[in-house]
Structure 1
């Protein structure tokens, strides 16, 4: 299938990334030409979302091989691999994508290696688009008619190769006539829900209402939410799921109000080597992301800040995990093992 992504464009010898820090006010593109540039874009959140991070890292390694030209080899690409792997620690898609490219190191080095890595990066991009379409349809089938959904962070075409994960379910439900409304939590401190999710949905005329994160409980208590749909950055072997900070709060609220809590993620987000959520590394970010906003102080200078980028939702709070190869209902260690056994190799 063709690669048609609104946020990631491969142009034969360089990569264009939509700078998501500038949305919705400005549409600006970053020109990335090596692994260091790709790692900077990931680290600084110009590109974000687990699948998009993996795709960008893959292209970044391929760019490094192209830059090295005849000198490209596994040994000379090792520093680039390390830089990319260190860019963000929580999203397993990053390491999965780099492992796919590393598997292409065997064979002729030099220019041929660069071409192999480009082809593999393009396949990762295409595969993610196809996966999102499939999981979108599977997830939409779980929703009641005329559903009002609550979602968190941004899990759409901006965060993936295209279509989206949780927002892929939203898009598919809208196209199938089964969606009434999306409530988008603003998602502090980076406001991905306000800046990105609301923007994406409004581009397609999908009904969206932006709410403060702290309004979620009231909406549920008033019966205005039928299900919560979120993405994931890493899913452990027992079903524990790491996602944007605030997801765990929503899962607890959904359980109290007896609402389905649905996690949407491609199979590449499942990490069978991770025993449970306790082992997932939680990235902690710059305190000024909380203390300041848009250059304006929002707290006293020097105020201590705890700024984790993610939290972990225990599997027992999750109604279903939706991937492109199936729905894992009431996820636990056995359900995940059965899914791994069923999915195509």
Structure 2
């Protein structure tokens, strides 16, 4: 049975602290948005889909516990918006949380404008909406795996065994518990409109090597990772981690304390190097077509 990155039931949320793996297997309680923010920022949870789910579910936990205004629709809407805005400040590169926050804000606005909706009904419906994201994530993960397997196996002459190299957090711990990149090469945290991809540091070098050796290079990402508002990868915000992550290990200094450290968490792979395509829950797309397809689907 695959490990679960998150454990949720109405009013209760736990996150597997991935910073302790493989030495310890410990789930920690996430009782509010503040704790989720810290888990996201400190990389206790990793993988863009899991980050988005943890943030949204932590808001559901707060609402289930009675946090926020109880008598005014507008005040409750503002409360939700403020919580989502705070969560977005934790990790700037991963696109999924921003996309889900935008969708949730729009959905809440429409619910507020629905005749007969009370603050109590709005609160309950927001919780149910967020809980629905869990099931959607699992469905999308399976679709991505199936599309990826079809694309890769379909390119094999006469069948035969397949050797795959994965990079980034591509399995169950990156998502709600299944994984997005089980049959592909790399994951992604953000896809620009032209198909450039931001992923964990080292992806670009792998793409260059694959291109040189004639090995198909795929990216697997749910549609929420696409960001059609950014024309190219040059505009993707790249998170920089503390230099101590490279100069210290377990609190022990490994380098000169005055050493100048640059520690980007991501690099950008140009779309030209993504020779296999971008695999989403809707199918496999040429890199420049992925975000366009997502935008078109969003308008339907």
- Which TM class, normalised by the smaller chain length? 0.7 to 0.9
Coordinate RMSD, CA, aligned: 2.1
Task: Verify: 1:337 aligned to 2:292, yes or no.
Answer: yes
- TM-superposed deviation, 1:289: 0.5
- TM-superposed deviation, 1:109: 5.3
Q: Which ranges of structure 1 fall in alignment gaps of 5 or more residues?
A: 171-228
After TM superposition, where is structure 1 displaced by more than 3 Å over at least 4 residues in a row? 108-111, 338-345
Question: What pairs up with 1:172-211 in 2 under 5 angstroms?
Answer: none
- TM-superposed deviation, 1:271: 1.1
Q: Distance in 2 between matches of 1:150 and 1:92?
A: 24
Cα displacement string for residues 144-191 of structure 1 (whole angstroms, at most 9, x for unaligned residues) = 43111111121111011222111x326xxxxxxxxxxxxxxxxxxxxx
Match of 2:133 in 1: 124
Q: Distance in 2 between matches of 1:138 and 1:36?
A: 37
- TM-superposed deviation, 1:125: 1.4
- TM-superposed deviation, 1:335: 6.1
Q: Is the 8 A contact 1:8 1:16 kept in 2?
A: yes
Match of 2:4 in 1: 6
Give the alignment partner of residue 81 of structure 1, picking from 63, 79, 84.
84
Match of 1:277 in 2: 233
* Residues 124 and 153 of structure 1: CA distance in aligned 2, closer, same or farther (over 3 Å): same
Cα displacement string for residues 81-131 of structure 1 (whole angstroms, at most 9, x for unaligned residues) = 221010111111011111222233233453333322221111111111101
Cα displacement string for residues 33-89 of structure 1 (whole angstroms, at most 9, x for unaligned residues) = 111111111111111100001111111222333342525601233331221010111
Task: Verify: 1:92 aligned to 2:95, yes or no.
Answer: yes
* Residues 39 and 81 of structure 1: CA distance in aligned 2, closer, same or farther (over 3 Å): same
Give the alignment partner of residue 142 of structure 1, picking from 151, 156, 177.
151
Q: Is the 8 A contact 1:5 1:161 kept in 2?
A: no
Match of 2:43 in 1: 45
Match of 2:254 in 1: 298
Q: Which ranges of structure 2 fall in alignment gaps of 5 or more residues?
A: none
Q: What SS does the corresponding residue of 2:132 show, helix, strand or coil?
A: helix
Q: What SS does the corresponding residue of 1:312 show, helix, strand or coil?
A: strand
Give the alignment partner of residue 237 of structure 1, picking from 193, 198, 219.
193
Q: What SS does the corresponding residue of 1:89 show, helix, strand or coil?
A: coil
Match of 2:170 in 1: 155
Task: Verify: 1:103 aligned to 2:96, yes or no.
Answer: no
Q: Distance in 2 between matches of 1:39 and 1:85?
A: 8
TM-score by length of 1: 0.76
Match of 1:31 in 2: 29
TM-score by length of 2: 0.87
Q: What SS does the corresponding residue of 1:17 show, helix, strand or coil?
A: strand
Q: Is the 8 A contact 2:197 2:233 kept in 1?
A: yes
Q: Is the 8 A contact 1:157 1:164 kept in 2?
A: yes
- TM-superposed deviation, 1:257: 0.9
Q: How many residues in Structure 1 have an aligned counterpart in Structure 2?
A: 281
* Residues 53 and 302 of structure 1: CA distance in aligned 2, closer, same or farther (over 3 Å): same
